Amino acid sequence: MTKQLITILAALVCCSVSAQTGTADTRDMLDSLLCDIGRKDQEVRSDWAKVAAGKATQDEIIAYAMKMEETDNANLEVVSRILDTYGWPDGLSEDANNAIFLVIDHSDLKTMKKYVGLFHDAVENGYLSMDELVTMEDRMLMNAGKPQKYGTQAYSITAGGKAVIYIWPVENPDKLNQLRQSVGLSPIEEYLEMVKQQGVEIIYDKKKRVKDFIQH
């Protein structure tokens, strides 16, 4: 554990006494902390396009994965402490609420199951959007080895030294766009085109099944 993380956790413990008072100082401290965590979550993923395009060396891929894991673990430790102490804090900025989503969405299945109830409450309270909730629920299904519902999750396969991104198998392909529209997501075709414009090869094959990826 880094000195910075120890300092952050110590500050959270000190502030926990006033957690239920909803003081502006506590809220501002949490908001600033979460916004910083959100930036770190995205910064460590900024090289993903290079990796996905197959332009990174094996050593770079390993270094990238290790750095991302280290960042995710540190972020999760802080966000878990916040959620366990305060629940979902009131009065946060959009960026701070989004940071909570990002960190939990990038965690493991056990952690997502622990906090999914808070995510439902956050949607009801207007802190998160429905598309963010279903994104995490799709990831939970993928991590559990099951088909997803809304087509928000993808799986990377390396072939010939190049990473190819596949949309994880969908439970009901014929109704996918209808389901996506119901939660505010764009049609899958528009999503695929947007990703391709970023230089990433992505494929949605309706015939793919979960076993095809697990076997790979």
Q: Summarize pLDDT for 80-106 with one digit per residue, the tens.
A: 999 998 899 999 999 999 999 999 999
Q: Same domain, yes or no, for 106 and 171?
A: no
Can you say how many angstroms the Cα of residue 198 is from the centroid of all Cα atoms in its chain?
Answer: 19
Q: Same domain, yes or no, for 123 and 173?
A: no
Work out the average pLDDT over 23-46. Answer: 89
- Give me the pLDDT at residue 51, please: 67
Read off the tokens for 212.
Answer: 């095809």
- For tokens 């996506």, the residue is 180
pLDDT band at 4 (very low <50, low <70, confident <90, very high): low
Q: Same domain, yes or no, for 88 and 159?
A: no
What's the number of domains the chain is made of?
A: 2
Residue 66 lies in a domain: yes
Q: Identify the bridge partners of residue 166 per DSSP, sorted by sequence position.
A: 155, 203
Query: In this predicted model, which residue has the larger pLDDT, 47 or 5?
Result: 47
| Dihedral Cα 160, 165, 166, 168, nearest 10 deg | 130
Kindly report, residue by residue over 164-193, the tens digit of the pLDDT: 789 999 999 999 999 999 999 999 999 999
Which strands, in side-by-side order, build the sheet including 162-167? 154-159, 162-167, 202-203
Residues 142 and 106 sit within 8 Å (Cβ to Cβ)? no
pLDDT band at 7 (very low <50, low <70, confident <90, very high): low
Closest by CA to 67, choosing from 53, 51, 81, is: 51
How many CB atoms sit inside 10 A of residue 164's CB? 16
pLDDT at 10 > cutoff 60: no
Phi and psi at residue 167, to the nearest 5°: -65, 130
Domain around 70: 3-8+25-128
Q: Identify the bridge partners of residue 202 per DSSP, sorted by sequence position.
A: 165
- Give me the pLDDT at residue 52, please: 58
Closest by CA to 67, choosing from 98, 101, 44, is: 44
Range with the poorest average pLDDT among 25-34, 51-60, 178-187, 189-198: 51-60
Phi and psi at residue 187, to the nearest 5°: -55, 150
Q: Same domain, yes or no, for 35 and 117?
A: yes
Q: Same domain, yes or no, for 162 and 121?
A: no
- Give me the pLDDT at residue 20, please: 45
pLDDT at 38 > cutoff 60: yes
Q: Same domain, yes or no, for 121 and 161?
A: no
Q: Same domain, yes or no, for 75 and 159?
A: no
Residue 39 lies in a domain: yes
Give the span between the Cα atoms of 180 and 84, in whole angstroms: 31
pTM of the model: 0.84
The rounded percent of the chain whose pLDDT value lies above 70 is 81
pLDDT at 18 > cutoff 70: no
How many CB atoms sit inside 10 A of residue 23's CB? 12
Q: Same domain, yes or no, for 122 and 177?
A: no
- Give me the pLDDT at residue 194, please: 93
Give the span between the Cα atoms of 82 and 16, in whole angstroms: 9
Q: Same domain, yes or no, for 124 and 183?
A: no
- Give me the pLDDT at residue 19, please: 46
What angle do the packed helices 130-143 and 109-124 form, to 10 degrees? 160
